Structure 1
Amino acid sequence: MQSTENPWQIVSKKTIYDNPWISLIHHEVINPSGNAGIYGKVHYKNWAIGVLPLDDELNTYLVGQYRFVLNQYSWEMPEGGGPLGTDPLDAAKRELLEETGLKAREWTKLHDFHLSNSVGNEFGQIYLARGLEQFEAEPEETEELQVRKVPFSEVYRMVCNSEITDSMTVAAVLRVQLMILEGKI
């Protein structure tokens, strides 16, 4: 059986960039083959949080916004973040209210995940929110959002046809579709 221990040796590391959300760290390393090399790491300072709201009629709510980093418009479930060391569920409740104006009575954690395994260490959680009640949305000043109530079956079709490509939304929709097929919803 092959070892699961870390084969990388860090010779030195230096923070190249730092802001309230991320830092970029340059590493001088000895790689697993024993050769000198470099490795850049993006360190995330927040949880990534996703919430799939699902009402009693199996409708969900998509949030549309222009994603600066992708240079394109994206439809996705309500998403955001919360500082590491805080309860991710609290961040999920906040994000759902901020982006859609919804509050939920029932919360189910669907999955823990990490978004990248090559250059970033962003971890997060995805939740299913049920027992929905509508309030006023409270978007952040940096968000220009559209919210659409869509039958879950349509959102599943959009995921299958790559009309929705956000990885957290894809994972949540596929997980909930499986729960529906298994009779858990």
Structure 2
Amino acid sequence: MSDVKRGHVRRGPWIIHGETVSFDNPWIAVHEFPVTMPSGDPGRYGVVHFKNRAIGVLPIDEEGYTWLVGQHRFPADAYSWELPEGGGPLDEEPEDAAHRELEEETGVKAGKLTQIGTWHLSNSVTDEIAIAYIATGLSSGQFAPDPTEVLEIKRLPFGELLDLVMSGEITDAFTVLMVQTAYIKAQRGLLPEEISRHIVPDQ
């Protein structure tokens, strides 16, 4: 573009004049950009770069039950019940990460994974990508949580999980997305019948 000086980059309506990393650890890095804003004024934009994908799994067994994982979340300083979730390295196949996270966090192995969505969880300040699956054909595996995790496990019918989401008792955004997406897709016939019959059994 004619209004972008040599070495500067246009990103949509923003012009980027440089980049620095102000924080870096094994999980995230904070990138700061001196920019020209869409208004033409100078500014700075901070982006949290995630070094893993967010991977989430909604396991459903032959009785229509699923599993929740309970843990204290440091940023919110609150206890949270969530579907099995974790980070998948960018060089790992997402399905491999989903199999691993489900087994590590619940002790349950998936025979089959069905992808139900890919989302940006907070696209104003992060570049995190979230990928979600429904797991079926479940069997016993090895419970092996990360050393930083102190987990509780709860098995409950999908309908009760949906009630917890709709009442606001579950506040984890990724879990809410997975549950509501699975429910709507099942209602609309967008999931295999062997999955849908456990999510909307009276349909």
| Band of TM-score, shorter chain | over 0.9
Matched residues in 1 for 2:111 and 2:23: separation?
Answer: 41
Residue 162 (str. 1) matches residue 143 (str. 2): no
**Match in the other structure for 2:106:** 100
Residue 114 (str. 1) matches residue 115 (str. 2): no
Residue 20 (str. 1) matches residue 26 (str. 2): yes
**Match in the other structure for 2:67:** 61
Matched residues in 1 for 2:88 and 2:104: separation?
Answer: 13
**Match in the other structure for 2:85:** 79
Unmatched segments (≥5 aa) in structure 1:
none
- Deviations along 1:112-163, one digit per CA (max 9) or x if unpaired, are 1111111111012000001111223111111100000011000000000110
Indicate the larger mover: 63-72 or 170-179: 170-179
Question: What's the offset of the Cα at 1:85?
Answer: 2.8
The match for 1:133 among 123, 136, 139 is 139
Q: SS where residue 128 of structure 1 aligns? A: strand
**Match in the other structure for 2:49:** 43
Residue 173 (str. 1) matches residue 160 (str. 2): no
**Match in the other structure for 1:9:** 15
Q: SS where residue 76 of structure 2 aligns? A: coil
Question: What's the offset of the Cα at 1:33?
Answer: 1.3
| Number of residue pairs matched by the alignment | 181
Matched residues in 2 for 1:87 and 1:135: separation?
Answer: 20
- Deviations along 1:69-115, one digit per CA (max 9) or x if unpaired, are 11000000000011113211111100000000111111100101111
Q: State the 4+ residue runs in structure 1 displaced beyond 2 angstroms.
A: 179-184
Counterpart code for 1:66: H
Question: Which one has the bigger strand percentage?
Answer: 1
Question: What's the offset of the Cα at 1:165?
Answer: 1.0
Matched residues in 1 for 2:188 and 2:136: separation?
Answer: 17
Counterpart code for 1:6: G
User: TM-score if structure 1 supplies the norm length?
Assistant: 0.94
Matched residues in 1 for 2:173 and 2:133: separation?
Answer: 14
CA RMSD of aligned residues (A): 1.2
Matched residues in 1 for 2:110 and 2:163: separation?
Answer: 25
User: TM-score if structure 2 supplies the norm length?
Assistant: 0.86
Indicate the larger mover: 82-91 or 92-101: 82-91
Unmatched segments (≥5 aa) in structure 2:
1-10, 197-203
Structure possessing the higher radius of gyration over alpha carbons: 2
Question: What's the offset of the Cα at 1:182?
Answer: 3.4
The match for 1:90 among 75, 91, 96 is 96
Question: What's the offset of the Cα at 1:62?
Answer: 0.2
Matched residues in 2 for 1:58 and 1:142: separation?
Answer: 31
Matched residues in 2 for 1:7 and 1:141: separation?
Answer: 44
